[in-house]
Chains A and B, each alone.
Chain A
Amino acid sequence: MPDIVKPLSHVPYGKKFGLDTSSCGRCIGQPVIFDFRAIATMAASITMPKRPFLTLPFLLPSLTESLSIGAVRHQSSYRRTKQRLRVKPDASFGPSQQGRDQIIYNPPSSAPSVYHTPSKFLPANDVRRVMRPAAAATATADVNELPSVYKTQPERKYHLTPEDVEEIRKLRLNDPMTWSRYSLAKKFECSPLFIAKVCGASPEKKAIQKQVLEAVQSRWGPKRRMAREDRKLRREAWGRDE
């Protein structure tokens, strides 16, 4: 009788089913437990279909406790199993602390819909502006603490004068090979984007650059070419929100 339980009882569950609990990010804690249950149930049903329901590991008081047939014997009742499976409702659904009526708002665990206009975009005379103060309050809490997308924020100087811009234009027009966008940006301590905004490349330089690009691209094999094309297509798909 005891060897029926053996295959499961000697191996820690996380390792047996390839669950890597350490890789979970800071935000997805809850689903981990859920997955574990599901996988354990599934594996149990695959490996040992005849095994009684009461030996399912997640019903035990502690996961760390080693399993033996003696440990599970006192749980051999359907009622207790049901009792353990019963999940209590969230605290927010209980009677309120203040003893008065309230609206329970559980935000849906889904990405916000685009049809839900942000409060900032509502016109001044729209009633929804004043009806949504609570949601705005929750959002305000930690905007400044959220990490930025960029590692460093570039410093904005606004130091260039009209004479500098004239100089940039002259340099780029007269000697485009030496004074590329990046070299000009380095010299005038601004971003290459600013150089592009201030002056475009001359047609000759554009033609040369096109030839260089074609020469580089002609050396691409089919794999690289396809990968680049796919990347371009993916990028276009962002704009369509696909």
Chain B
Amino acid sequence: MKRLQLQRWSSTALSPRVRTNNRLHQQLYSTGLRLQSTVSPLQSESAISENVEDASFQNPDAMRHIRRAHKRKTQLQYPSPPVEAATQSAKLAALHARLYLPSRLPLQTLARTLVDASADSNVDFNNESLATLGHDLLANYTSEHLICTYPRLPLSVTFAAMYAYVGPKTLAAISKEWGIDNATVPGGEVDPGFLQFQRVAPGTAVEDISQLKSARPYADQKNWRMTVSSKIFYDDEFGDAIKGSVALGQGVTDETARATFVRAVLGAIYLHAGRPAAKRFFEQHILSRHLNISELFNFSQPARDLARLCARENFEAPVAKIVSETGRKSRSPVFVVGIFSGQDKLGEGSGSSLMEARERAALSALKGWYLYTPINPRVPSSMEEEGAAPWKPAHIDLGELLPTEDG
């Protein structure tokens, strides 16, 4: 791994023959800057070829620079950086070390994860295949974690939690927290440490980018009711309609490109370093993020739902009782209401009216039901580890309260 290009700078700097106001040196210095930026260096290269006669050919540094300039010219014909450029990029090596990626994952593959399909349509050089693998891994690991940890979580909340953990917005945020910068325009001469994608043209409506290709029958019937459970079959892992692939040359949004990159990194780790490394990477970067699942619920009629739940589970009917109160006749009263089923307290809530306190109490009781976690939940993929304990089936019960035609 070559992280520094110290030699070049220090030799030019320390050589007494190099005059700082030499025209050539100025040109080279400016191209040196352009190498780091993403602007096409075409113009400056033509300037160099004009100035070659002025330069002293005895200067090995100048010769090296000229050779590099020629090499860049050949690079320009490719839509994405050539494979050998990966070992030369300090940015890429720093990214590799920053993420503590396994050493078996080569820099060339990491460079490939940074090339979006919109930048380079050749499937051998873009990250599409890696992203497909990474996407499936992410969806699998997250869903098994959620389902085994919270076996009673309603499906709509599971979808929202999936979205919160591995949705495109989150993945884009992760890539920003990894310190990934976008290349202004993709190209062969760009530093492979930049994320390269073709931006969508400004003013394009987001719906136009990808064609909606739902497998759902009668998808065009807007008035028809879509059940949540049908989303498992027809829609993606977040319960949203599956979007078709982006048309060629149309470009992608920043969020999509970044999300694809993060997925591709996980896919690359899986390919090069194997399953345990991919799982560890997922746990460290995705699962360690903070998400309070109890804040994802939005109830419309918690009291009614709780009563239905108790009827289904053969508990005594829930009764609301005032646990404590203060300032009943004042401007700012507080009531604390508990919901009891028989002698057991199911939930408790406080509010400035009895109705509010009762609703909140019913809501907390419902959350208590939905957020049940078995002791030491295990996920199926934990069986892939060496010397794993025998598998015990995950907890399954009736779980979610299904919508009924009940007023």
Could you tell me which A residues sit within 8 Å of B by CB distance? 23-28, 111-112, 114-123, 126-128, 136, 139-140, 143, 146-150, 196-197, 238-241
Whether A117 lies near B343 (C-beta < 8 A) is no
A67 and B157 CA atoms in complex are apart in Å by: 63
Chain A residues within 8 Å of B325, by CB: 25, 27
Residue in chain A with minimal CB distance to B299: A239
Interface presence of B265 (CB below 8 A): no
Most chain B beta carbons < 10 A, residue from A120, A143, A148: A120
Residue in chain A with minimal CB distance to B365: A118
Whether A136 lies near B344 (C-beta < 8 A) is yes
Question: Which of B327, B338, B373 lies in contact with A23, CB distance below 8 A?
Answer: B327
A147 and B374 CA atoms in complex are apart in Å by: 35
Whether A149 lies near B337 (C-beta < 8 A) is yes
A25 and B350 CA atoms in complex are apart in Å by: 15
Nearest chain B CB to A121 CB, angstrom units: 5
Whether B363 lies near A238 (C-beta < 8 A) is yes
Interface residues of B in 283-300 (CB under 8 A from A): 294-295, 297-300
Interface residues of B in 332-348 (CB under 8 A from A): 337-338, 340-348
Residue in chain B with minimal CB distance to A115: B371
**A238 and B368 in contact (CB under 8 A), knowing A128-B375, A148-B321, A149-B337?**
no
**A147 and B297 in contact (CB under 8 A), knowing A116-B368, A123-B397, A238-B360?**
no
Q: A126-B374, A239-B302 known; 18 other A-B pairs, CB under 8 Å?
A: A23-B330, A24-B326, A25-B327, A111-B348, A112-B348, A114-B294, A115-B371, A118-B345, A120-B315, A120-B342, A120-B346, A121-B346, A121-B368, A123-B372, A143-B343, A146-B322, A148-B320, A241-B363
Nearest chain A CB to B350 CB, angstrom units: 7
A128 and B395 CA atoms in complex are apart in Å by: 15
A140 and B344 CA atoms in complex are apart in Å by: 7
Whether B395 lies near A123 (C-beta < 8 A) is yes
Whether B294 lies near A115 (C-beta < 8 A) is yes
Nearest chain B CB to A23 CB, angstrom units: 7
Interface hit among B15-23, B236-244, B246-254, B351-359: B351-359
Chain A residues within 8 Å of B397, by CB: 123
Whether B324 lies near A119 (C-beta < 8 A) is no
Question: Which of A121, A126, A136, A146 lies in contact with B375, CB distance below 8 A?
Answer: A126
Closest 10 CB pairs of A and B: A25-B326, A146-B321, A114-B367, A27-B324, A120-B344, A140-B343, A239-B299, A149-B320, A117-B372, A238-B359
Chain B residues within 8 Å of A136, by CB: 343-344
Whether A112 lies near B344 (C-beta < 8 A) is no
**A119 and B371 in contact (CB under 8 A), knowing A112-B364, A147-B321?**
no
Whether A120 lies near B371 (C-beta < 8 A) is no
Whether A121 lies near B294 (C-beta < 8 A) is no
Residue in chain A with minimal CB distance to B359: A238
Chain B residues within 8 Å of A24, by CB: 326
Nearest chain A CB to B31 CB, angstrom units: 57
Nearest chain A CB to B407 CB, angstrom units: 5
A197 and B407 CA atoms in complex are apart in Å by: 6
A144 and B193 CA atoms in complex are apart in Å by: 69
Residue in chain B with minimal CB distance to A114: B367
Interface presence of B219 (CB below 8 A): no
A119 and B341 CA atoms in complex are apart in Å by: 11
Whether A148 lies near B322 (C-beta < 8 A) is yes
Chain A residues within 8 Å of B215, by CB: none
Nearest chain B CB to A223 CB, angstrom units: 18
Nearest chain A CB to B263 CB, angstrom units: 31
Most chain B beta carbons < 10 A, residue from A136, A238, A239: A238
**A118 and B346 in contact (CB under 8 A), knowing A238-B360, A239-B300?**
yes
Chain B residues within 8 Å of A140, by CB: 343
Chain B residues within 8 Å of A147, by CB: 321-322
Chain B residues within 8 Å of A127, by CB: 375
Chain A residues within 8 Å of B374, by CB: 126
Nearest chain B CB to A112 CB, angstrom units: 6
Residue in chain A with minimal CB distance to B357: A149
Interface residues of B in 190-248 (CB under 8 A from A): none
A27 and B299 CA atoms in complex are apart in Å by: 30
Question: Which of B345, B372, B407 lies in contact with A139, CB distance below 8 A?
Answer: B345
A147 and B360 CA atoms in complex are apart in Å by: 18
Nearest chain B CB to A102 CB, angstrom units: 24
Interface presence of B282 (CB below 8 A): no
A98 and B339 CA atoms in complex are apart in Å by: 36
Chain A residues within 8 Å of B365, by CB: 118
A238 and B360 CA atoms in complex are apart in Å by: 6
